[in-house]
């Protein structure tokens, strides 16, 4: 007979029963005090009116700041445009039943169509399914760009415009670099381009001469180079030096 094990299991069961009874009695006392408060019925549910707080408890973390408005929200607020709540389900004409607007098994899902209609003004050899996927990728990229632009706006970070407009104020080095690139962008690589006033024409870049080894030479140097090539080929270590 395992006396120690029986005593341990009995004391553990007694402890669990004590905790369950204590939790039940405390919960019952809490609900008794709640039902002493004035109640009201709202939409078929009985609500108890809690008393006003008496003790101000300090917060552990600061009060969260209001979420900044996006560009569209600012425009809608300025123009008085109110967001209309869309229905969660839509009517599917093909299946003749109500289906979710988004997500799995959504209604009017055109991604599962086996036939795509080619518009009259479109190329008859154009893949309409591929075109549909490209438009979806463009919408996703546009939404991501707008999201990042809103974040950068509120964090006061400059974001490059998608049109990449040239700067109105350029430095002297930028102007000279642009002139040099324009000069060489001709068929003659700037050879017959007229010189501007106070323009310094860059010197002609000298070509790099290639150095070839002698066909006949010392056998020792050739042997050393061959051994170096073989050693690199048989080297077991990685080609990229990750410790560099």
Residue 123 has pLDDT above 70, yes or no: yes
Which of the four pLDDT bands, split at 50, 70 and 90, describes residue 3?
very low
Task: Please give the pLDDT value at position 16.
Answer: 87
Residue 166 has pLDDT above 60, yes or no: no
The predicted model gives 153-163 an average pLDDT of 62
- Encode burial over 176-195: b for 16+ CB neighbours within 10 A, e otherwise: eeeeeeebeeeeeebeeeee
| Least confident range of 58-67, 173-182, 205-214 | 205-214
Residue 163 has pLDDT above 60, yes or no: no
User: For residues 202 and 200, what is the distance between their CA atoms, to the nearest angstrom?
Assistant: 6
Length of the chain (residues):
244
Task: Please give the pLDDT value at position 51.
Answer: 86
SS3 labels along the chain: CCHHHHHHHHHHHHHHHHHHHHHHHHHHHHHHHHCCCCEEEECCEEEECCCCCCCCCCCCCCCCCCCCCCHHHHHHHHHCCCCCCCCCEEEECCCCEEEECCCCCCCCCHHHCCCCCCCCCCCCCCCHHHHHHHHHHHHHHHHHHHHHHHHHHHCCCCCCCCCCCCCCCCCHHHHHHHHHHHHCCCCCCCCCCCCCCCCCCCCCCCCCCCCCCCCCCCHHHHHHHHHHHHHHHCCCCCCCCCCC
| Least confident range of 60-69, 105-114, 147-156, 212-221 | 212-221
Residue appearing with tokens 């000069």: 183
The predicted model gives 108-118 an average pLDDT of 78
User: For residues 19 and 12, what is the distance between their CA atoms, to the nearest angstrom?
Assistant: 11
| Least confident range of 32-41, 54-63, 184-193 | 184-193
Nearest of 171, 176, 182, 174 to residue 199 by alpha carbon: 176
Q: In this structure, is the dihedral angle defined by the CA atoms of residues 6, 7, 8 and 11, taken in order, positive or negative?
A: positive
The predicted model gives 109-123 an average pLDDT of 80
The predicted model gives 215-238 an average pLDDT of 72
The predicted model gives 90-114 an average pLDDT of 82
Specify the higher pLDDT residue, 212 or 150. Answer: 150
pLDDT digits (tens, 9 = 90+) for 9-47: 657 778 888 999 999 999 999 999 988 999 888 888 888
| Least confident range of 36-50, 60-74, 201-215 | 201-215
Separation of CA 153 from chain center: 16
Q: Which residues contact 82 (CB under 8 A, 6 or more apart)?
A: 76
Residue 165 has pLDDT above 60, yes or no: no
Separation of CA 24 from chain center: 48
Which residues are bridge partners to 90 per DSSP? 99
Task: Please give the pLDDT value at position 1.
Answer: 47
Which of the four pLDDT bands, split at 50, 70 and 90, describes residue 8?
low
């Amino acid at each position: 007979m395992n006396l120690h094990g029986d005593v341990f299991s009995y004391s553990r069961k007694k402890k669990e029963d004590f905790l369950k009874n204590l939790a039940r009695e405390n919960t019952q006392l809490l609900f008794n005090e709640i039902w002493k408060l004035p109640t009201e019925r709202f939409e078929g549910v009985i609500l108890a009116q809690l008393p006003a707080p008496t003790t101000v408890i300090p917060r552990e973390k600061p009060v969260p700041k209001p979420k900044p408005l996006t560009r569209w929200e600012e425009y809608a607020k300025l123009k008085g445009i109110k967001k209309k709540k869309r229905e969660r389900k839509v009517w599917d004409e093909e299946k003749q039943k109500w289906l979710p607007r988004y997500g799995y098994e959504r209604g009017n899902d055109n991604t599962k169509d086996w036939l795509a209609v080619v518009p009259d003004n479109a190329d008859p050899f154009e893949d309409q399914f591929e075109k549909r996927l490209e438009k979806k990728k463009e919408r996703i990229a546009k939404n991501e760009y707008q999201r990042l632009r809103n974040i950068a706006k509120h964090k006061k970070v400059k974001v490059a415009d998608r049109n990449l407009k040239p700067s109105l104020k350029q430095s002297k080095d930028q102007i000279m670099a642009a002139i040099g690139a324009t000069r060489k962008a001709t068929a003659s690589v700037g050879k017959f381009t007229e010189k501007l006033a106070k323009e310094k024409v860059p010197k002609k870049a000298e070509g790099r001469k290639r150095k070839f080894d002698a066909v006949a030479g010392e056998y020792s140097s050739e042997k050393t180079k061959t051994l170096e090539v073989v050693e690199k080929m048989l080297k077991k270590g990685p080609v990229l030096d990750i410790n560099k």
